[in-house]
A and B are shown apart, each in its own frame.
Chain A
């Protein structure tokens, strides 16, 4: 599987801005076929567990966060968390996505204790703590990133999700998430984790106030790092959901990305990131019918079945989707469904 040369930033920008969507889709489908000639589309049975919604970052695009003391603010108890994990395993789940807000009071000891006790009680993969959380933990502990990740890994953290990337363009980040870590810091967390032998994913939230140039800057940063470390397993673009967010309410020009915009970004992601093996369709933001169509526009993975999801549904968007629906959608598109683990090994 030898990849030809990467397309350039200029070529990427031109495709994103000007290419006819069907031609772009066909190109993305070709890249997908080369990387996944076997025609399998994968999914993972997991649950998003958001241990707290208390967050000091208060990003403008987010409807999930609450201040400490707010009536809807919460921090899950260990019992609640264990109950959720138990249910996940009972439903055939193999992994949890453990993410939360940047809680002002939780120190590294809390996380170490949490990770250890999960691992002591359950045979489950912990995909958890996105780069903003890792940085927050390291700053509170006064440890370097490397030390922090080593400690978390030692306690049971298996892999790191690609959240908090939003758009890796500081011009945009200053406007939509001024308190969140910047582009370089996000990349630094991922590079450090990769160098410690951990796999991670990468995401991109588009459709807020970015320009096509910002999307290409984002893709380019991810591709560069991947050339160095090969630590990303998958890329997941998803569209900003403006309902109930500060950004959506204050800027009426910000509209939810339409289907053509989503597929355009998905396709360019597949074409640009030819060194990242997997691209996930986002049924959570697009619905299952669109996710199925995504399989022809570059995606080869349905992502998580999401027994539970809280962050997108905080915007009011909620699709009811079962594992059966996902399998039917994959078959209906002419692919073979495959249950996978976080490393994309087929396990069922």
Chain B
């Protein structure tokens, strides 16, 4: 199928087929791809590009999963393994809260000894200490783990988390859903179906979430496409996803380091194609931590409408050699957005513009 036919479908609002998406991946015409993705981004979000003042906290790097692509995880007792106490987590957030932080993003390893009550206590104490900060925490991988260690079903686990202060769920742990790829990449991690089940249950309880895809390792375009389509199907049912976040794989310090190809063009295509395929997602996020500031800025011309945020002390991607600084200032984010010819909008966790801010 030609790009022209795909263009007609895109502009008339029809879902693209897997074949359409593959045609787009195989095309060299990144300019048409960028133009189409920009058109869809414009229809959904105008000229706006969103960002948030947020802070990442990774409570522990001790993890029972030890996925091959991960440079962050450690086993208990290993030299640079660490675990934060609830007091330390609160202290970290207290140190940055005067900066105008709106959201805390908490994800970490699957700690072999921490109990579900410990996590609930963490949420409660954070909410008590910072009632105005939105808590976006725990990927489906962690939530599945909580359900196993607590003996509760998914629904009860999620209700308990929500009751303790969880406001929304990040999109991590999705990697690539395809079973064969997943078995090679992260055999200990929950299956794709389970990941989707956690999200569906959360959405059913009114908890919104994001969705990610880790690409650029051992998968093929077909796997990326299937991944997106499974997300699109779930989104058609629940409408609970806010943003899709394609994550460029960084091989340094991982056990997959021979797989790397430095695909800046692939990054831009993946952003654009996800914008076109995931036509029922409101937002496509160019996560600057993984893409680097430069590619993230260019992604704004290829359909992305969100740069994530100031981030603070992100550790997981940086363990794998992500090409970015540890944090970025609000002014720098605004500069990147303006220089791309877009309108910067500081948002809250649900994409409401902050009125009091310039």
Contact = CB atoms under 8 A, between A and B. Distances in A.
A21 interface: yes
A248 B261 CA distance: 33
Contacts of B34: 22
Interface string A271-292: 0000000000000001111111
B335 A258 contact: yes
Given A22-B301, A260-B339, A260-B340, A325 B28 contact: no
A293 interface: yes
Nearest to A290: B294
Interface residues of B, number: 28
A260 B297 contact: yes
B323 A292 contact: no
A262 B31 CA distance: 17
Interface string A88-110: 00000000000000000000000
A6 B295 CA distance: 32
A255 interface: yes
Given A22-B301, A289-B262, A293-B268, A261 B339 contact: yes
Contacts of B292: 287, 289
A333 B301 CA distance: 18
Contacts of B262: 288-289, 292, 325, 328-329, 332
Interface in B236-269: 260-268
Nearest to B337: A258
Contacts of A325: 262
A290 B264 contact: yes
A332 B28 CA distance: 11
B294 A286 contact: yes
Interface in B257-287: 260-268
Contacts of A296: 30-31, 265
B336 interface: yes
Contacts of A289: 262-264, 267, 292, 294-295, 323
Binding site of B, secondary structure by majority: helix, strand, loop or mixed? helix
Binding site of A, secondary structure by majority: helix, strand, loop or mixed? helix
Contacts of B294: 258-259, 262, 286-287, 289-290
Contacts of B335: 255, 258
Contacts of B127: none
Interface residues of A, number: 31
B35 interface: yes
A25 B295 contact: no
B298 A22 contact: no
Contacts of A286: 294
A334 interface: yes
Given A258-B335, A332-B266, A290 B30 contact: no
B281 to A, nearest CB: 22
Interface string B1-45: 000000000000000000000000000101100110010000000
B130 to A, nearest CB: 32
A119 interface: no
A174 interface: no
Nearest to B264: A289
A126 B268 CA distance: 38
B340 A258 contact: yes
A304 B268 CA distance: 25
Contacts of A258: 293-294, 297, 335-336, 339-340
Interface string A260-271: 111100000000
Nearest to A292: B264
A295 B30 CA distance: 11
Contacts of B340: 258, 260
25 contacts: A21-B341, A22-B34, A29-B31, A258-B336, A258-B340, A259-B293, A260-B297, A260-B301, A260-B341, A286-B294, A287-B294, A289-B263, A289-B267, A289-B294, A290-B264, A292-B263, A292-B265, A293-B265, A293-B268, A296-B31, A325-B262, A328-B260, A329-B261, A331-B261, A332-B262
Given A22-B38, A260-B340, A290-B294, 18 more contacts: A20-B341, A22-B34, A22-B301, A255-B335, A258-B294, A258-B339, A259-B295, A260-B301, A261-B339, A287-B323, A288-B264, A290-B264, A292-B262, A292-B264, A329-B261, A332-B263, A332-B265, A334-B28
Interface of A: 20-23, 25-26, 29, 255, 258-263, 286-293, 295-296, 325, 328-329, 331-334
